[in-house]
């Protein structure tokens, strides 16, 4: 477990439907003190004075200053304004078409999702869903750029997002190359990687028509450019630690899988943590 007396706080900018839930489960095993948010809502869940006292507390063995911050937070969030000068940020990006479709099918499986009833009862397809949710388009670009109007992305927004990725993030991982990304992060921050299972992954999905895919690309063009830029950053960082990552992957893949009893226990604990996070985020 990282020693928070010698390591700056870690901020995980969790892009929705980009592998973040699985990564969060691993992060929780490596950081004892953490603060999480799933709606850009560190405020008002924490009054400003309380939040400042948490993140700026002196670093010693007795303090409970969080060493890990996570959530669907953008770079305009107050967490970055009040964070101590030294912090490190990581994120995971996902190919935009796959990310959009994952989000679309996810809400259909979740009755508590605000849009679940409308999409199911009105049988809203992919193309109509795009028209209905302009704020969900180019979501990765909006989040990384830190703009307050999701979906209102322009070329200038993309340039801000690229600059933020290059300058503000220590690691940019890729959902499609999750294990390599995970091991790259682990080797950078000296994590232990326990056996894990992917969370919230659909087993099968209906085939999407080509015209719908084209429409997703059209409305998420800036996300596509940002993803390609992030891919380059990932490749460059991976090249620096390729030997360590390869050795770590070989060791990880040789780990014995847990027994069925252990798997049930871990799934139960994971579900409990997920529910508690959602309850806390709603308060």
How far apart, in whole angstroms, are the C-alpha atoms of residue 24 and residue 7? Answer: 18
Residues 6+ apart with CB under 8 A from 91: 12, 13, 14, 15, 144, 165, 169, 171, 172, 173
Mean per-residue pLDDT for 174-180?
Answer: 94
The predicted pLDDT at position 138 comes to: 92
Q: Looking at the domain assignment, is residue 111 inside a domain?
A: yes
Full domain range(s) for residue 123: 10-273
The residue among 224 and 21 whose pLDDT is bigger is 224
pLDDT of residue 80 exceeding 60: yes
Domain count along the chain:
1
pLDDT of residue 95 exceeding 90: yes
End-to-end CA distance of the chain: 30
Q: Looking at the domain assignment, is residue 118 inside a domain?
A: yes
CATH of the domain at 147: 3.40.50.300
The predicted pLDDT at position 206 comes to: 72
User: Which of 34-48, 51-65, 68-82, 191-205 is the least confident region?
Assistant: 34-48
* Token representation of residue 24: 């969060």
Q: Looking at the domain assignment, is residue 282 inside a domain?
A: no
Q: How confident is the model at residue 63 (pLDDT cuts 50, 70, 90)?
A: low
Q: Looking at the domain assignment, is residue 4 inside a domain?
A: no
Which of 17, 132, 117, 27 is CA-nearest to residue 69?
Answer: 27
The predicted pLDDT at position 149 comes to: 61
Mean per-residue pLDDT for 49-53?
Answer: 67
The residue among 1 and 135 whose pLDDT is bigger is 135
The predicted pLDDT at position 272 comes to: 47
- CB distance 141 to 226 below 8 Å: yes
Q: Looking at the domain assignment, is residue 1 inside a domain?
A: no
Q: Looking at the domain assignment, is residue 235 inside a domain?
A: yes
The predicted pLDDT at position 78 comes to: 62
Q: Looking at the domain assignment, is residue 151 inside a domain?
A: yes
How far apart, in whole angstroms, are the C-alpha atoms of residue 145 and residue 153? Answer: 9
Q: How confident is the model at residue 39 (pLDDT cuts 50, 70, 90)?
A: very low
Q: Looking at the domain assignment, is residue 281 inside a domain?
A: no
pTM listed for this prediction = 0.80
How far apart, in whole angstroms, are the C-alpha atoms of residue 256 and residue 258? Answer: 6
């Amino acid at each position: 477990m990282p020693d928070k007396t010698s390591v700056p706080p870690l901020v995980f900018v969790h892009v929705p439907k980009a592998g973040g839930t699985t990564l969060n489960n691993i992060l929780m095993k490596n950081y004892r003190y953490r603060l999480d948010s799933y709606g850009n809502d560190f405020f008002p869940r924490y009054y400003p004075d309380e939040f400042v006292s948490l993140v700026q507390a002196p670093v010693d063995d007795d303090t409970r200053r969080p060493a890990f911050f996570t959530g669907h937070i953008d770079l305009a969030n107050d967490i970055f304004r009040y964070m101590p000068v030294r912090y490190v940020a990581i994120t995971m990006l996902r190919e935009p078409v796959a990310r959009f479709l994952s989000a679309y099918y996810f809400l259909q499986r979740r009755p508590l999702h605000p849009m679940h009833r409308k999409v199911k009862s009105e049988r809203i397809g992919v193309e109509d869903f795009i028209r209905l949710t302009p704020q969900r388009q180019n979501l990765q670009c909006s989040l990384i750029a830190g703009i307050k109007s999701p979906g209102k992305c322009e070329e200038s927004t993309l340039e801000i997002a690229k600059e933020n990725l290059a300058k503000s993030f220590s690691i940019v991982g890729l959902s499609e190359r999750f294990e390599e990304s995970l091991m790259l992060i682990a080797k950078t921050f000296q994590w232990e990687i326990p056996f894990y299972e992917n969370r919230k992954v659909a087993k099968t999905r209906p085939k999407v028509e080509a015209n719908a895919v084209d429409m997703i690309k059209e409305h998420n063009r800036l996300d596509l450019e940002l993803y390609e830029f992030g891919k380059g950053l990932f490749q460059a960082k991976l090249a620096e630690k390729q030997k360590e990552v390869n050795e770590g992957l070989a060791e990880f893949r040789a780990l014995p899988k847990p027994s069925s009893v252990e798997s049930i226990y871990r799934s139960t604990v994971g579900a409990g943590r997920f529910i508690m996070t959602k309850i806390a985020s709603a308060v």
